[in-house]
Structure 1
Amino acid sequence: MSEDLIELLATGLGETLYMVALSTCIALILGMPLGIILVITDKGHVLEAPKINRVLSTVINIVRSFPSIILIVVLLPLARFIVGTTLGATAAIVPLAIGSAPFLARIIENCLKEVSFGKIEAAMAIGAHPFTIITKVLIPEALPALVRGVTLAVITITGFTAVAGAIGAGGLGSLAIRFGYMRFRDDIMLATVVILVLLVQGVQWGGDSLANYINRKRYKFD
Structure 2
Amino acid sequence: MWELLWPAIQQTLVMVVPSTILAVIIGFIPAIILTLTDENGLKPNKAVYKGLDFIVNTLRSLPFLILMVVIIPFTKLIVGTSIGEVASIVPLTVASAPFIARIIESALKEVDPGVIEAAKAFGASTTQIIFKVMIKEAVPAIISGITLSLISIIGYSAMAGTIGAGGLGNLAVRYGYQRFQTDVMIVTVIVLIIIVQGLQSLGNYLYNRLSK
Normalised TM-score (structure 2):
0.97
What is the number of equivalent residue pairs in this alignment?
212
C-alpha displacement at 1:184, in angstroms?
0.6
C-alpha displacement at 1:126, in angstroms?
3.1
* Residue from 121, 132, 135 that aligns with 1:136: 132
Aligned letter for 1:93?
A: I
C-alpha displacement at 1:167, in angstroms?
1.2
C-alpha displacement at 1:85, in angstroms?
1.1
Which 4+ stretches in 1 moved above 4 angstroms? none
Aligned equivalent of 2:189: 193
* Residue from 29, 49, 59 that aligns with 1:53: 49
Whole-angstrom CA distance in 1 between matches of 2:132 and 2:78: 36
Cα deviation code 1:96-139 (max 9, x no counterpart): 00111001101111111111112112222333111100111101
CA RMSD of aligned residues (A): 1.0
Residue 41, structure 1, aligned to residue 43, structure 2: no
Aligned letter for 1:118?
A: G
* Residue from 32, 55, 59 that aligns with 2:28: 32
Aligned equivalent of 2:176: 180
Aligned equivalent of 1:219: none
Residue 212, structure 1, aligned to residue 205, structure 2: no
Q: 3-state SS of the aligned residue for 1:30?
A: helix
Aligned letter for 2:36?
A: I
1:57-96 equivalences under 5 Å are 57-96=53-92
* Residue from 116, 119, 122 that aligns with 1:123: 119
Residue 106, structure 1, aligned to residue 102, structure 2: yes
Whole-angstrom CA distance in 2 between matches of 1:189 and 1:44: 50
Normalised TM-score (structure 1):
0.93
Contact residue 46 and residue 124 of structure 1 kept, 8 A: no
Q: 3-state SS of the aligned residue for 1:44?
A: coil
Aligned equivalent of 2:5: 9
Aligned letter for 2:179?
A: R
Whole-angstrom CA distance in 1 between matches of 2:113 and 2:174: 51
C-alpha displacement at 1:157, in angstroms?
0.4
C-alpha displacement at 1:88, in angstroms?
0.7
Unpaired segments of 5 or more residues in structure 2? Answer: none
Cα deviation code 1:145-164 (max 9, x no counterpart): 11100000100000000111
Whole-angstrom CA distance in 1 between matches of 2:73 and 2:181: 32
Whole-angstrom CA distance in 1 between matches of 2:7 and 2:80: 22
Q: 3-state SS of the aligned residue for 1:168?
A: helix
Unpaired segments of 5 or more residues in structure 1? Answer: 217-222
Whole-angstrom CA distance in 2 between matches of 1:183 and 1:80: 31
Residue 97, structure 1, aligned to residue 93, structure 2: yes
